[in-house]
A and B are shown apart, each in its own frame.
Chain A
């Protein structure tokens, strides 16, 4: 029995599902990609974070990169505010700092998805 103090049961179960698929003898690369797509689809942000931590701790390169990519994809082409809300990030900037940043780097608020608010 190997104790894994940093990972909760649910996340570990998910990691094992991933590993089982990826170590199947007759799974083609295509099948693995499809599995990854469905596996990560609809995953909550909190779950993604847990998975990233677990994959990192257990040194599972493939899963780690997939999860990080998934989190990054979720941020692509979204406004600053949307990313904050979605990933529930505390800004920690003062309101003066915020104003300054928005003024100085106004371009960062351009060209994002129109459905992001």
Chain B
């Protein structure tokens, strides 16, 4: 039987003229090739193909990468309901094989009526997920944090869940976590000397965006492998000290809450760099001068061999007095930052 059908692939402007001869060849392809092909489609497209035949449906049930993006879902009536059913169905019928990547992109939350279900996250964890991305609102009050932070298979974790006071988990077992990104979280009030971010032995990159750290006096991070740390526009960052014990840190990006970065305001507080108890690096000036000096100083200081042995404490201070109501200078330098290999620092001033 010979059939000739011509079609156009509208995506990426490639013309795919297809001519069919003979019987269905699909069933002759081994499973892993079918999986390879189906993996190259978006989750919605792949599902569409799977609805066409049992062979593809079987393949669908063992796909290792599942990315559910609400914005890519067809705009049907009852979209949220259909979307939730779709994720439910996928999760219910997946076979026992591992799911390497599991993403739930249910944002922006102003337009997405669906919420992340605890069962979906549990599914991913049970299937040894390596990359977990949660973006959206969370359904119910179950504590996601405990399960997520005991998922030993995790290598990359991105949490961007609005309106959630993040209960910090009781134990953290993430021996393989290399990348951690936190967005929009409201970090809870903690006992101030707790080292929240020091339980990730393999962590290489850590970033915090828009996380509310108003309850924090001190944010303490110790990690021997951390190479990049980014902290950006976190409410409360102006009154929070940061202590870094990160000998491998190569990039530290700390940017302000003020979106108008090109226009520097007169700051109520400034930066002081205290090196080994020597505060002669402390400087004041116009915001422009201050930020330029800070950056210049840190570059100079990092360039000297003195610094490889030196100890650092980066503090926010108001008018020369360390805040947090201590009324005096901090004399405790026990937990200070170690910047052995730091070679790029971006510190922007803020108001």
Interchain CA distance A42-B9 in the complex, whole Å = 12
Interface string of B54-86 (1 = CB under 8 A from A): 111000000000000000011110010010011
Q: Are B24 and A90 in contact (CB under 8 A)?
A: yes
Interchain CA distance A2-B94 in the complex, whole Å = 41
Q: Are A78 and B7 in contact (CB under 8 A)?
A: yes
Q: Are B7 and A116 in contact (CB under 8 A)?
A: yes
A32 within 8 A of B: no
A4 within 8 A of B: no
Interchain CA distance A64-B24 in the complex, whole Å = 20
Task: Find the B residue at minimum CB distance from A72.
Answer: B40
Given the interface pairs A44-B21, A89-B26, the reply to whether A73 lies near B11 with Cβ below 8 Å is: yes
Q: Are A106 and B20 in contact (CB under 8 A)?
A: no
Residues of chain A within 8 A of B38, CB atoms compared: 72
Task: Choose among B12, B55, B73, B74 the residue that contacts A89 (Cβ–Cβ < 8 A).
Answer: B55
Task: Find the B residue at minimum CB distance from A55.
Answer: B33
Q: Are B53 and A84 in contact (CB under 8 A)?
A: yes
Residues of chain B within 8 A of A77, CB atoms compared: 9-11, 45
Given the interface pairs A74-B9, A85-B5, A89-B24, the reply to whether A107 lies near B76 with Cβ below 8 Å is: yes
Q: Are A68 and B37 in contact (CB under 8 A)?
A: yes
Interface string of A66-106 (1 = CB under 8 A from B): 00111111111111111111111111110000000110111
Say how far A49's CB is from chain B's closest CB, in angstroms. 5
Residues of chain A within 8 A of B7, CB atoms compared: 74, 78, 82, 86, 115-116
Say how far A25's CB is from chain B's closest CB, in angstroms. 28
Residues of chain B within 8 A of A110, CB atoms compared: 74-76
A17 within 8 A of B: no
Q: How many residues of B contact A (CB 8 A)?
A: 51
Residues of chain A in range 27-86 having any CB-CB distance to chain B below 8 Å = 37, 41-42, 44-46, 49, 52-53, 56, 64-65, 68-86
Tell me which of B21, B33, B41, B89 has the highest count of chain A C-beta atoms within 10 A of its own C-beta: B33
Residues of chain A within 8 A of B37, CB atoms compared: 52, 68, 71-72
Interchain CA distance A71-B3 in the complex, whole Å = 18
Interchain CA distance A26-B7 in the complex, whole Å = 35
Residues of chain B in range 1-57 having any CB-CB distance to chain A below 8 Å = 3, 5, 7-12, 14-30, 33, 36-38, 40-41, 44-45, 47-49, 51-56
Given the interface pairs A46-B20, A110-B74, the reply to whether A76 lies near B9 with Cβ below 8 Å is: yes
A19 within 8 A of B: no
Residues of chain A within 8 A of B14, CB atoms compared: 37, 41, 73
Interchain CA distance A1-B15 in the complex, whole Å = 38
Q: Are A75 and B41 in contact (CB under 8 A)?
A: yes
Given the interface pairs A70-B16, A111-B74, the reply to whether A46 lies near B21 with Cβ below 8 Å is: yes
Interchain CA distance A92-B58 in the complex, whole Å = 12
Residues of chain B within 8 A of A92, CB atoms compared: 53-55
Q: Are A73 and B9 in contact (CB under 8 A)?
A: yes
Given the interface pairs A44-B19, A76-B45, A110-B76, the reply to whether A101 lies near B25 with Cβ below 8 Å is: no
Task: Choose among A42, A49, A75 the residue that contacts B49 (Cβ–Cβ < 8 A).
Answer: A75
Selected A-B contacts with CB under 8 Å, 13 pairs: A37-B14, A44-B19, A72-B40, A73-B12, A74-B18, A76-B11, A76-B45, A88-B23, A88-B26, A91-B53, A102-B51, A105-B82, A110-B76
Chain B positions near chain A (C-beta within 8 angstroms): 3, 5, 7-12, 14-30, 33, 36-38, 40-41, 44-45, 47-49, 51-56, 73-76, 79, 82, 85-86, 89
Top 4 nearest A-B pairs (CB, nearest first) are A72-B40, A92-B54, A110-B74, A111-B74
Q: A49-B25, A80-B48 are in contact. List 12 more A-B contacts (CB 8 A).
A: A46-B21, A72-B38, A73-B12, A77-B11, A79-B48, A86-B18, A87-B26, A88-B23, A92-B53, A105-B51, A106-B76, A108-B74
Chain A positions near chain B (C-beta within 8 angstroms): 37, 41-42, 44-46, 49, 52-53, 56, 64-65, 68-93, 101-102, 104-108, 110-113, 115-116
